[in-house]
Amino acid sequence: MFTVEASCLNARAGRITIGKKEIKTPAFMPVGTQGCVKALDAVDISEILKPDIILANTYHLYLRPNPETIERFGGLRAFTGCDSLFLTDSGGFQAFSLPGAKVMDEGIEFQSHIDGSTHFFTPEIVINIQHKLKSDIVMVLDDLVALPADPKRVNLSVERTLHWAEQSLVFHRTHRTDESQKIFAIVQGGTDEQLRAKSANGLNALEYENRGFDGFAIGGLSVGESSALMYETIEAVTPLLPREKPRYLMGVGTPENLIEAIDRGVDMFDCVMPSRNARNGTLFTSSGKYNIKRPIYALDNEPIDASCGCYTCRRYSKGYLSHLFRTGELTYYRLATLHNLHYYLSLMREARAAILSGRWSEFKGEFYAKRGKE
Amino acid sequence: MFTVEASCLNARAGRITIGKKEIKTPAFMPVGTQGCVKALDAVDISEILKPDIILANTYHLYLRPNPETIERFGGLRAFTGCDSLFLTDSGGFQAFSLPGAKVMDEGIEFQSHIDGSTHFFTPEIVINIQHKLKSDIVMVLDDLVALPADPKRVNLSVERTLHWAEQSLVFHRTHRTDESQKIFAIVQGGTDEQLRAKSANGLNALEYENRGFDGFAIGGLSVGESSALMYETIEAVTPLLPREKPRYLMGVGTPENLIEAIDRGVDMFDCVMPSRNARNGTLFTSSGKYNIKRPIYALDNEPIDASCGCYTCRRYSKGYLSHLFRTGELTYYRLATLHNLHYYLSLMREARAAILSGRWSEFKGEFYAKRGKE
């Protein structure tokens, strides 16, 4: 399923094969929470941005429209018209961030953010929903904790997540209808290296009929800790994960975070940052980010980034985008989202090319030099 | 500038030539108030919908960004990246609908809807702004009244609009920098046939250096009167307007309104209805309109209109659109707007084809038959 094609120090370039499709890593997954990358349509994804895979949220799709509706339409690809692969998260993060959610040994009780109704997610329920969605990469339910945290609570999170992972693996392998559907476990343990090791080793040891998980995610980061502590934790975890399986850092982060994580052996990412920040006016470029709100851009006839070849930069000036943003035109959100996601996806493609050609360290140096940070 | 290619009873098919571009009539102009058709970008306009001309609002662009900015970028086409022709309204309608606006013989004093600041529009100022915008069809400032209205007030509106039109014509012809820029006058007079005649005849008689207006708009309709009264008024006005000049019914309306107005000799239309209604969930089809909110559509795997070949109908089901609408995804607004504008533009193209082939009456019959109204 996963082949490491090249590595430079800890950075890896690889390919994940799922059915007839492929994910070239390092890979960034745009976030399409409700079966739609906000402000974009399936053509924007499949013909303009062309990510290998996008992420959708189990919690949101469970509430609206509901798994049975998507199943009836033929799964996420058929429902959304979007031809890419889909990874679905497990709802663990939403349970963590929803006010009033209760985590128990059996699962997570939570209230819908839409109508306040009470629901219960168990490891099996969550995998079952993802099967109905026809997700290509299914994530196990996990128990994550805000940082800093009481070590006892972190240990409980590790043990619970391990137990849930075991149930999930069995349920997945015995219930999936499509052999190509993959399942990833999630390493927890806060910023405690010992607990991270306990989690990683425990998950790695799990098997059902001689087969373990298809990949490993690092969860529970970017939840309040410093970047330095996050990097240390990643650095402690990746050596414990099997070389021949993909590693996915969940919900992270800035372009700098991605580069540092690749440098520490991570292969996959997802984050709302490029799309959400686009909507707030923040635009990413090779020389850093800026906000289109600034009055200086109102008369600027240059594109967002003169070196960018994206849909938006080939057509529109900062002046026009600034006007659309100020006047609240919906069109702005699509154009800015297209640019920011293009930036993230291009950064991953360039990182991959650098690793494949043995130029990773130089690439990393250039990345920071362009930002005036080296 | 305008050639009538064919007519069936009072319905006309023609061509307006402006520079190297052409408007084939009957024509519908999508509304791009702030230099952007809401939820769409220039590619959606130029490559997907392909209207011959779109409308932008002088009042809105005067306030934001301001005429000088757009002039500096090279006019509306260069600023927006949208290659179509642009007609700009005069701000008369906004002055009419803004609370607290004061109409005087010299012009209109109004408060900005953005910051409450006070501004004054005279006929010359309004033409000058439109010159800076490099509008292809410039509209004169007019004084319109809500219906029903006191006949004295309607008479004042007719006289004022006539006087302003004269000032506008002189200013336009002596100040325009681009010979291809056209100017249209606006007929007022409420639903009073005598006052409409006074306005139409008065405007038609105006000339500067032996040249009158390039076209005539019918303004002040769809402001509270019944459809029947609107049709009667149109029917009274069009015979008074010169056959060799285009006739533009401002701010109207439903598909039925357009068909009835074409039947009475109108050539051009603009209306926010297809784009605004799209955003509210109302979708137009050949068999009538419906709202995507209705629960019945949540499981519907058919497109909005099985007989429609638009961008949206070729790709997305009512079920997916219903999900996007319910979950507030911005993507819905673009997809629904593309469909509704495609419907309006196609209706005009079909009406034109019917007139050119001498089938107007049959076409009109079929239009109503499909809606189950005949």
Whether B113 and chain A come into contact, CB under 8 Å, resolves to no
The DSSP element (H or E) to which B218 belongs, if any, is strand B215-218
Q: Is the pLDDT of residue B270 over 90?
A: yes
Cross-chain Cβ contact B299/A329 below 8 Å: no
| pLDDT, position B372 | 83
User: Residues A257, A286: one domain?
Assistant: no
A322 vs B contacts (CB less than 8 Å): 65
Same domain, B331 and B208: no
**What value does the mean pLDDT take over residues A48-59?**
98
Helices (H), chain B: 42-43, 58-63, 67-73, 76-80, 92-97, 123-133, 151-175, 193-205, 227-237, 255-263, 273-280, 318-326, 330-356, 360-370
How much is the pLDDT for B373?
A: 65
Same domain, A251 and A343: no
The pLDDT tens digits for A222-241 are 988 999 999 999 999 999 99
Chain A residues touching residue B34 (CB < 8 angstroms) = 323-324, 327, 329
Determine the pLDDT at residue A211.
97
CB A29 within 8 A of CB A22: no
| Judgement on whether residues A107 and A226 belong to the same structural domain of the protein | yes
Sign of the alpha-carbon dihedral angle for A87, A92, A96, A102: positive
SS3 of residue B73 by DSSP = helix
Are the CB atoms for B30 and B275 separated by under 8 Å?
yes
- Of the listed B44, B52, B89, B142, which one is catalytic? B89
Does the beta carbon of A77 lie under 8 angstroms from any beta carbon of chain B?
no
Rounded to whole angstroms, the Cα distance separating B275 from B341 reads 7
Give just the sign of the alpha carbon dihedral A190, A192, A193, A195: negative
Is there a contact between B270 and B341 (Cβ–Cβ < 8 Å)?
no
- Res B64: pLDDT: 97
Check B333 against A329: CB less than 8 A apart: no
Please name the residue ranges forming H helices in A11-145.
42-43, 58-63, 67-73, 76-80, 92-97, 123-132
Buried b (16+ CB within 10 A) or exposed e, B171-195: bbbeebeeeebbbbbbbbbbbbeeb
Q: Which residue is closest to A312 within chain B, CA to CA?
A: B41
Nearest by CB: A331 against B36, B73, B331: B36
Q: Per-residue pLDDT tens for B24-63?
A: 999 999 999 999 999 999 999 999 999 999 999 999 999 9
Q: Is B334 on the interface with A (CB under 8 A)?
A: yes
Q: How many residues does chain B have?
A: 374
User: Where residue A149 falls among pLDDT bands split at 50, 70, 90?
Assistant: very high
pLDDT at A331: 98
Domain count, chain B: 2
Average pLDDT in chain A = 97
B315, B331, B332: best to mutate for the A interface, most A CBs within 10 A? B331
Assigned token pair, B45: 């306009």
Report the range of poorest mean pLDDT among A24-28, A109-113, B91-95, B218-222: B91-95
Cross-chain Cβ contact A69/B299 below 8 Å: yes
Burial of A313 (0-12, 13-18, 19+ CB in 10 A): buried
Q: Using a CB–CB cutoff of 8 Å, tell me whether A243 touches chain B.
A: no
**Cis peptide before B26, with omega less than 30 degrees from 0?**
yes
* Interchain contact A48–B (C-beta under 8 A): no
CATH classification of the domain holding A62: 3.20.20.105
Beta-strand relationship, A85-88 and A102-103: unpaired
Contact predicate A302/A313, CB 8 Å: no
Nearest one of B201, B264, B192, B253 to B231, comparing CA atoms: B264
- The residues facing B22 across adjacent strands are B17
Residue B177 pLDDT = 87
Q: pLDDT tens digits for B145-176?
A: 988 999 999 999 999 999 999 999 999 999 99
Whether chain A has a CB inside 8 Å of the CB on B327: the answer is yes
Supply the residues of A annotated as catalytic.
89, 270
Indicate whether A226 and A327 sit together in one domain: no
Note whether A263 and A318 are same-domain residues: no
- Chain B partners of A49 at a C-beta cutoff of 8 Å? none
Residue of A38, A43, A330 lying closest to B38 (CB–CB): A330
**Model confidence over A67-85: pLDDT tens digits?**
999 999 999 999 999 999 9
Contacts with B79 from chain A: Cβ below 8 Å: 317, 319-320, 323
Nearest to B360 by CA among B268, B276, B260: B260
From A39, A81, A322, residue closest to B316, measured CB to CB: A81
The DSSP bridge pattern shows strands B282-285 and B288-291 to be: antiparallel
What is the least distance, in Å, from the CA of A114 to any CA of chain B? 10
Q: Which of B221, B238, B271 is where one domain is finished?
A: B271
Query: Which member of B64, B72, B335 has the closest CB to residue A323?
Result: B64
φ and ψ of B136, to 5 deg:
-85, -35
pTM (predicted TM-score)? 0.98
∠ CA B362-B368-B372, nearest 5°, is 130
> Average pLDDT in the B350-356 region?
98
Looking at the fold, whether A88 and A219 belong to one and the same domain comes out as yes
- Same domain as B160, residue B25: yes
Show the domain range for A36: 2-271
- Residues of chain A positioned with their CB less than 8 A from the CB of B319: 65, 69, 73, 79
Size of interface A-B (CB pairs under 8 A): 106
Spatial contact of A109 and A51, defined as CB atoms under 8 Å apart = no
Tokens of B285: 């089809």
Of the partner residues A41, A64, A301, the one whose CB lies closest to the CB of residue B335? A41
Task: Please indicate whether, in this complex, the C-beta atoms of A323 and B39 are within 8 angstroms of each other.
Answer: no
Type of residue at A28:
F
Of B69, B80, B315, the CB nearest to A81: B315
Token pair recorded at residue B211? 């040249």
Q: A293 — contact with chain B (CB < 8 Å)?
A: no
Give the separation between CA A315 and CA B46, rounded to whole angstroms.
Answer: 12
Query: Nearest-CA distance from B325 to chain A in Å?
Result: 11
Q: Which pLDDT belongs to residue B34?
A: 98
On whether both A235 and A159 belong to a single domain, the answer is yes
Kindly state whether residues B119 and B172 are assigned to the same domain: yes
Q: Among A245, A247, A249, A246, which Cα is nearest to A270's?
A: A249
Q: Taking CB atoms and an 8 Å limit, are A324 and B36 in contact across chains?
A: yes
Which of B223, B249, B271 is the endpoint of a domain?
Answer: B271
Q: Is B132 left (phi over 0), alpha (psi -120 to 50) or beta?
A: alpha
Distance of alpha carbon A267 from alpha carbon A39, whole angstroms: 27
B/e letters for B133-165, b = 16+ CB within 10 Å, e = fewer, are bbbbbbbbbbbbbebebeeeebbbbbbbbbebb
Mean pLDDT of A247-271: 98
- Helical H segments across A85-226, by residue range: 92-97, 123-132, 151-175, 193-205
Query: Do B357 and B222 have their domain in common?
Result: no
Both B203 and B119 in one domain: the answer is yes
Residue pair B262/B9 in contact by the 8 Å Cβ criterion: no
* Cβ-based neighbour number of residue A114 at 10 Å: 11
Any chain B CB within 8 A of the CB of A334?
A: yes
Q: What is the pLDDT of residues B190-210, one digit of tens each?
A: 999 999 999 999 999 999 999
Q: Read off the tokens for A342.
A: 């293009």
Q: For the segment B283-328, what is each residue's pLDDT rounded down to a tens digit?
A: 999 999 999 999 999 999 999 999 999 999 999 999 999 999 999 9
The DSSP letter of residue A345 is: H
Q: Identify the pLDDT of residue A91.
A: 87
Last residue of one domain, picked from the residues B271, B306, B335: B271
Give the whole-number percent of chain B exceeding pLDDT 70.
Answer: 99
Average pLDDT over residues A258-264: 98
Q: Of B142, B263, B270, B305, which residue is the catalytic one?
A: B270
Average pLDDT rounded to a whole number, residues A17-29:
98
pLDDT value of position B95: 77
Q: Which pLDDT value is given to residue B374?
A: 46
B182: CB partners within 8 A, 6+ apart:
B1, B18, B136, B137, B138, B214, B215
Give the pair of three-digit tokens for residue A29.
């997954």
Residue B94 is predicted with a pLDDT of: 85
Is B335 within 8 Å of chain A by CB? Answer: yes
pLDDT of residue A373: 65
The string of pLDDT tens digits covering residues A296-313 is 999 999 999 999 999 999
pLDDT at A374 over 80: no
Based on its alpha-carbon atoms, the radius of gyration of chain A, rounded to whole angstroms, reads 20
Name which of A60, A299, A333 is nearest B330 (Cβ-Cβ): A333
